[in-house]
Structure formats: structure tokens, C-alpha cells
Amino acid sequence: MEDAHAIYDISEEGLFSAEVYDGHSGRNAADVSAEMLTPHFLSLLKSKRFGSVYTKSDYGELLREAYLATDDYIVKRGIRSGTAAATLHIFDEVFLAANVGDSRVIMGIRGDVLQLTLDHKPDVPAERSRIESLGGRVVTHVVPRVQGILAMSRALGDLTLKPYISPEPRVVQGLLGPENDFAVIACDGVWDVLGPREVIQVARDVEGPQEAADRIAAKALSAGSTDNLTVIVLDLRKRTARMPRKKMEILSILDYANE
């Protein structure tokens, strides 16, 4: 298994995070990302607070910097593996959902579900255009692959596929509302066979987050998944019940990969 995950609960910073890293060609990149990304993000936050005027609108840019710094660390140390990443960071009422690759973050909303991440696949027109403009190719071997090798267009690491594989995350920043009940962060072994509505309903139908995560993984296996399965389920209800606004808000979306 090449997956890694991380959960950080740092009360003095008002931070909770849940992160899934789906590695490929070895697990080193996934392990490094799980250990480095959030600590580096926190370091950037602290530097920003003491160095200049600081607002919550900086969160998204600083999380992007943490993604890029993690990728740079992996590449400069000659680690040849890579990893998809899906992360959810929560500061009181503020959330940041970010990803590279095809792992996802979903969140329950008004009895329905919202997918906060987008899959970065080589056949997405903007991704293909970026890859080809850099001199790379998208070749189909069963599914579209960068240079005929990797079936995603963004990841952390992947030294041998630079610059075609981008480490630029898509970062969604928003405010939680009382309508948000559960969040699920999972790798593509789940999403290849189960849809977001099906997954969030499992979280709503069982007693607790651990049972929900186990049930989702079991359901994916039963549906024919042959990939790694890493699932984190968060029960947000106690947190969101005290939110002052009437509904969730999306404040910004950062995505510089194809500019």
C-alpha cells in the first residue's frame, strides 16, 4: 500500500486538518507529504502573523505555498515517487479544501453533497493544453496518461515527469454553515466506483465516523475497486451547529496551474 494520511488537531492554532495522500511508484512521496505539508503551512502562518498585516484571506495562498514547498522538497531529494493529495483544513469557521490529482474532498450540504475538489486528469482540456505547451504528450493506454505513464496531470513529486506533472493545488476557501454535516476525504479507489451522494449517505446512516469510513471502504471493495482505499470521515455537526451564518459560503478558488 502506497497511501498515507495525516490528521492534525492543534488547539492553540484553532486548526484541525484531515489529509489523504495516494502515492504511486513507491510511498516515499506520500509519507513525506503527510509529515511536512501541514507543519510547513503552520510555519508560514506564524511567519506571516509576525512579519506583516495578516488576514484570513491569506490562508489559501499560504496553503498553496505549502504544497509547492512540499513538492520542491521531494524533488530536490531525488525521491522518484509521487502522490495525489486531498486536504481539508478548518480554522474555526473557515475551511480550505485543496487537492492535486484525483483524490477528493466532499462535504454534506442541505441533505445533499458538494464536491469541493476537481479531479486533475490528463484529458481535461486545460490540463492537456498545459502539458502539450510544455512539450509533453497525453497518450491513451486504457486511460489517458501523461507521457503514456501517469493517469493524472497534477501531483506532488514525480521527478521524472517534470514539468508536465504540476504540483499546483486547486484551493477552495469558504465558511462553514449549519447545513454542513459530514465531510469525506478519500483516494480514487473509492471514487472510481462510488459517487459522492452514495458516499455521504453512508456517513449519515451509521453511528460514527470510524464506522462510516469502514463501511465506505467495504462498499468500494464490493463495488469492484481494485485500488488502494484510504477514507477519512469527519462529523462536523457539533462544530457547525454554532455557526452564526445561515448557510455555507465559498469565498475564493485559487488555481494557477493553467494560467
Tens digits of residue pLDDT in 91-103: 989 999 999 999 9
Distance CA 92, CA 204 (A): 23
Domain range for 172 is 3-119+168-254
Predicted TM-score (pTM) of this structure: 0.95
Residue 136: inside a domain: no
Q: What is the mean pLDDT of residues 161-185?
A: 97
Listed residue (109, 127, 139, 97) closest to 236, CA to CA: 109
Residue 259: inside a domain: no
> pLDDT value at position 50?
54
The yes-or-no verdict on residue 187 having pLDDT over 70 is: yes
Distance CA 216, CA 200 (A): 9
CATH number for the domain including 210? 3.60.40.10
Residue 56: inside a domain: yes
Q: Quote the number of domains for the chain.
A: 1
C-alpha cell at 34: 503527510
What does the pLDDT look like over 220-256, one tens digit per residue? 999 999 998 999 999 999 999 988 888 999 999 999 9
The yes-or-no verdict on residue 52 having pLDDT over 90 is: no
Residue 159: inside a domain: no
